[in-house]
Every structure is written in structure tokens, then in C-alpha cells.
């Protein structure tokens, strides 16, 4: 039953505070640890901010160094006029750097791809392959074939990029301004095919050595020039070029897709973005180059893969004196249509990354030399209005 009168405790709480003798209990305050220690309460956050600050300083310093080096290179080279011999020389050097470095970097992927193309049952996957190769041959074995890869694709990249710039201008001038703009994709395809036709003549001997080194266990040669000597000693100079026709069959469609799709994709990207290409920084433009190159590389890998498999098979299994057509017929009979697509997934990853990095390096070098990046919408030709 509830009480009708307040309890003693209730009366004390109400009236005791009115007394002058009442002392309010003071809660002890927690000490300010941050002031006492002189450190922040959240040191992890401070460390992250410090790292960000130092990274920003290093980035700014690196940009200044690159700008200084670029200015020095441009001053030494002098003004480079578009489509002048200096321009084509700069594009040739940029292509050499872009292709030689990137192809050499992905040698471990290329090694597994070539061996799986020759024998699809050799490895179940990339990591298993690298593990077996590493245990049997050491870390150096994973980079088997890097030397002919570097020499061959450096030469090919020089002729491919420099030749593309030359033939694109050459065919555009032949067609005239109006037709060149209207049929620009045809110009890209024709120019890239012409450049690759010449570039493969430089690549083919090194490709023959590379494939044989990667598909023979242990490798048939210790290095590039030792491999060339071994091939020419047994088969003559023609032995270096016995894979030329399938190499053209692989590389020319690949390069046509690479350049034409890159130019188209980059134009679409800038068409989708607000503003014009010139409104964006050089760093943003190289980012667009990488994205366009990666997407173009995926298409390249699919288009050229059957010929890539055939190149590996011919360089590894073609008999001395065997006719080209007979060798292809024999190999196709052994592997069938499905065998032409062995290693496609690996090659898509490899070629996509490779092509994206190549375009990024190539356009970065052009920026370094004070030249505009590749791709982007070309202005439509001006139409003259005749006055009556």
C-alpha cells in the first residue's frame, strides 16, 4: 500500500540543498591527457596525415624534377614541329620505350602462355606453372626469354608507333582533308597495317628465338645472339623467318584493332566528358590513354589469338624443309579449332595490361617532349562558303 506522507529520504533531498551548511559534492575531473603528455589522443590519425603530407611533398618534388627534365630535353631537341622528321623520330623513340619495357615486364605471363599453347596439359594454371618453373629453374627461369623479348619488341615498337604516325599523315594527305575526316577509321586501319607489316620484319628473328627458348626445356639457347647463331647454324638465315607469315597473320590484325579501337575509344571518352580534350591536365590525358589502351587491348587479344597459337606451334614444331601450308594443316589437325584458343584468358589479361601501359608510356613520352597526346576528336574540316 503506498504511503500518504513523504519519506525521510525525500525530505532530505528537497530541503537539504537550501541549507547554508550544505556542501555539494564535486566530481573529480579527469586530467587532460593530451595536454599533459603533449601528444594527440589519436596518434594513428596523426601518423596517416603525416604520411599523406610527406607523400604530397614527394609527389610535388617529383613533378618539379620531371618538368625540369622535360624542359631540358625540349631545349636540347629544339622546337619539334608536328609531322617533321624530328616529330617522327620522337614518336619512334617513344614506341621503342613503350613496347620494349612493357613486353619484357610480362615475360613470366608470356612464358606460361607459350608453354600452354604448345602443351595444354603441361600446367593447370599460372601459379602452378610459376611454382614448378621456380622450383626447377629458380627465379631466373620464370623470366626465360626476356632478352629476345626486349630486343625484338623494342625494334617492333619503334617501327610500329613511328610508322603509324607517318602513314596516318601520309594517307590523310592522299585522301584530302574532307575524306580523311569522313573515313578516319579506314585511315587508322590502313596506317597501322602498313606500319606493322614493316615492324614484323624486325621482330620475327627475335620472336623465333624467344618462342624456342620458352617452349624447350631446358632452353635451347642461353641468350638472344646464342639462339640466333644456333638457328642459323642448323637451318640457315631462313630459319629465323619461318614464322613470318603467321606472325603477320597475328600482328597485323592485332595492330589494326589496337590503333583503330584506341583512337575510337579515346574519342568517345572525350566526347562523353564535359569540355574539350585541351581542358584536361596532362595527367588526366594519360589516364584516358591508359583506359582506352586497356579496352583496346582486350579486343586485340581476342582477334589475334588463333594466329598467336599457330605462331607458337610453328616455331616449336615445324619440321626443317616442311612447307608452310603443310605445317599449318598438320598442326590444326592435331589441336583442332578449340586448340586455337588455348591460353586466351591469360593473354587477355596480359595484352589488356600491356596495351594500356604502352599507350600511357607513349603519350607520357610525347608530353615529355612537348607534343600532344594521341587520340581525341579531330576538328571537322572547314567548309568554304562561296559568295554569290
Cα 234 from Cα 20, distance rounded (Å):
116
Chain position carrying cell 600491356: 354
Let me know how many helices (H) and strands (E) the chain has, helices first. Answer: 15, 0
Give the residue-averaged pLDDT of 305-313. 81
Does pLDDT of 382 surpass 70? no
End-to-end CA distance of the chain: 114
Please tell me the least confidently modeled range out of 175-189, 264-278, 373-387. Answer: 373-387
Per-residue model confidence (pLDDT) at position 43: 58
Residue whose C-alpha cell is 613503350: 98
Residues 6+ apart with CB under 8 A from 316: 118, 211, 212, 215, 216
Q: Tell me the C-alpha distance between 268 and 292, whole Å.
A: 9
Instruction: Quote the pLDDT of residue 341.
Output: 86
C-beta separation of 165 from 365 below 8 A: no
SS3 (DSSP) at 61: helix
Give the number of C-alpha atoms closer than 13 A to the C-alpha of residue 208, restricted to the C-beta side. Answer: 25
Burial class (CB in 10 A: 0-12, 13-18, 19+), 167: buried
Supply the pLDDT for residue 147.
94
Q: What is the number of other CB atoms lying within 10 angstroms of the CB of residue 208?
A: 26
Give the C-alpha separation, 312 to 283, whole Å. 38
d(CA 216, CA 316): 8
The DSSP secondary-structure symbol of 6 reads -
Neighbour-count burial of 179, counting CB atoms closer than 10 A to its CB (0-12 exposed, 13-18 middle, 19+ buried): middle
Cα 150 to the center of its chain, rounded Å: 16
Q: What is the pLDDT of residue 183?
A: 93
Residue 388: predicted pLDDT = 47
Residue 202 has pLDDT above 60, yes or no: yes
pLDDT band at 104 (very low <50, low <70, confident <90, very high): very high
Residue 138 has pLDDT above 70, yes or no: yes
When pLDDT is cut at 50, 70 and 90, the band that residue 58 belongs to is low
Give residue 351's pLDDT. Answer: 85
How much is the mean pLDDT over the chain?
82
Alpha carbon distance 343, 328 (integer Å) = 19
Alpha carbons 60 and 51: distance in angstroms, whole number: 14
Question: CA 59, CA 70: separation in Å to the nearest integer?
Answer: 16
Amino acid at each position: 500500500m503506498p504511503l500518504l506522507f513523504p519519506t525521510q529520504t525525500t525530505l532530505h533531498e528537497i530541503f537539504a540543498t537550501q541549507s547554508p551548511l550544505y556542501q555539494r559534492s564535486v566530481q573529480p575531473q579527469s586530467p587532460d591527457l593530451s595536454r599533459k603528455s603533449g601528444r594527440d589522443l589519436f596518434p594513428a590519425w596523426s601518423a596517416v596525415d603525416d604520411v599523406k603530407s610527406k607523400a604530397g611533398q614527394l609527389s610535388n618534388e617529383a613533378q618539379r624534377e620531371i618538368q625540369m627534365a622535360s624542359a631540358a630535353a625540349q631545349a636540347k631537341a629544339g622546337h619539334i614541329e608536328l609531322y617533321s622528321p624530328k616529330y617522327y623520330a620522337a614518336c619512334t623513340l617513344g614506341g621503342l620505350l613503350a613496347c620494349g619495357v612493357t613486353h619484357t615486364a610480362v615475360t613470366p605471363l608470356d612464358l606460361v602462355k607459350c608453354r600452354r599453347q604448345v602443351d595444354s596439359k603441361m600446367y593447370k594454371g599460372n601459379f602452378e606453372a610459376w611454382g614448378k618453373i621456380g622450383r626447377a629453374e629458380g627465379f631466373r627461369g620464370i623470366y626465360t626469354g626476356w632478352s629476345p623479348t626486349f630486343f625484338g619488341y623494342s625494334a617492333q615498337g619503334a617501327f610500329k608507333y613511328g610508322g603509324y604516325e607517318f602513314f596516318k599523315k601520309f594517307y590523310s594527305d592522299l585522301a584530302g582533308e574532307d575524306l580523311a575526316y569522313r573515313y578516319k577509321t579506314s585511315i587508322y586501319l590502313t596506317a597501322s597495317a602498313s606500319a606493322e607489316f614493316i615492324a614484323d620484319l624486325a621482330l620475327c628473328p627475335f620472336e623465333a628465338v624467344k618462342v624456342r627458348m620458352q617452349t624447350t626445356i631446358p632452353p635451347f639457347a642461353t641468350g638472344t645472339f646464342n639462339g640466333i647463331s644456333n638457328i642459323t647454324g642448323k637451318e640457315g638465315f631462313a630459319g629465323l623467318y619461318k614464322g613470318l607469315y603467321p606472325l603477320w597473320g597475328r600482328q597485323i590484325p592485332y595492330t589494326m584493332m589496337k590503333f583503330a579501337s584506341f583512337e575510337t575509344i579515346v574519342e568517345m571518352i572525350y566526347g562523353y566528358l564535359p569540355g574539350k580534350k585541351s581542358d584536361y591536365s596532362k595527367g588526366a590525358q594519360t589516364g584516358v590513354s591508359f583506359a582506352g589502351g586497356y579496352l583496346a587491348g582486350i579486343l586485340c587479344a581476342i582477334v589475334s589469338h588463333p594466329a598467336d597459337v599457330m605462331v607458337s606451334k610453328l616455331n616449336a614444331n615445324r619440321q626443317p624443309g616442311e612447307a608452310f601450308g603443310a605445317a599449318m594443316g598438320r598442326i590444326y589437325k592435331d589441336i583442332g579449332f578449340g586448340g586455337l584458343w588455348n591460353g586466351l584468358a591469360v593473354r587477355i589479361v596480359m595484352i589488356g595490361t600491356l596495351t594500356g601501359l604502352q599507350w600511357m608510356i607513349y603519350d607520357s613520352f610525347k608530353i615529355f617532349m612537348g607534343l600532344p597526346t594521341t587520340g581525341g576528336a579531330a576538328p571537322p574540316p572547314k567548309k568554304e562558303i562561296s559568295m554569290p
